Amino acid sequence: MPNILLTRIDNRLVHGQVGVTWTSHLGANLVLVANDEVSHDEVRQNLMDMVLPDTVATRFFTLQKTIDVIHKAADRQKIFIVVKTPQDVLTLVKGGVPIKEVNVGNMHYAEGKEQLTSTISVDEDDKKTFKELHDLGVTFDMRKVPDDKRNKNIMEMI
Mean per-residue pLDDT, 9-33: 94
Sort strands 114-115 and 30-34 into parallel, antiparallel or unpaired. unpaired
Cα–Cα distance measured from residue 14 to residue 23, given in angstroms and rounded to the nearest whole number: 10
The pLDDT assigned to 125 comes to: 97
Cα–Cα distance measured from residue 42 to residue 35, given in angstroms and rounded to the nearest whole number: 13
Position 56 confidence tier, pLDDT thresholds 50, 70, 90 = very high
The pLDDT assigned to 153 comes to: 77
Cα–Cα distance measured from residue 106 to residue 3, given in angstroms and rounded to the nearest whole number: 24
Show the domain range for 22: 4-157
Mean per-residue pLDDT, 15-38: 94
Instruction: Supply the pTM of this predicted model.
Output: 0.95
pLDDT at residue 6 above 90? yes
Q: Which residues are catalytic?
A: 15
pLDDT at residue 152 above 80? no
The SS3 call for residue 35 is coil
Number of structural domains in the chain: 1
The pLDDT assigned to 18 comes to: 85
Domain containing residue 33: CATH number? 3.40.35.10
Write b or e for each residue in 71-87: b if 16 or more Cβ atoms lie within 10 A of its Cβ, otherwise e: eebeeebbbbbbbbbbb
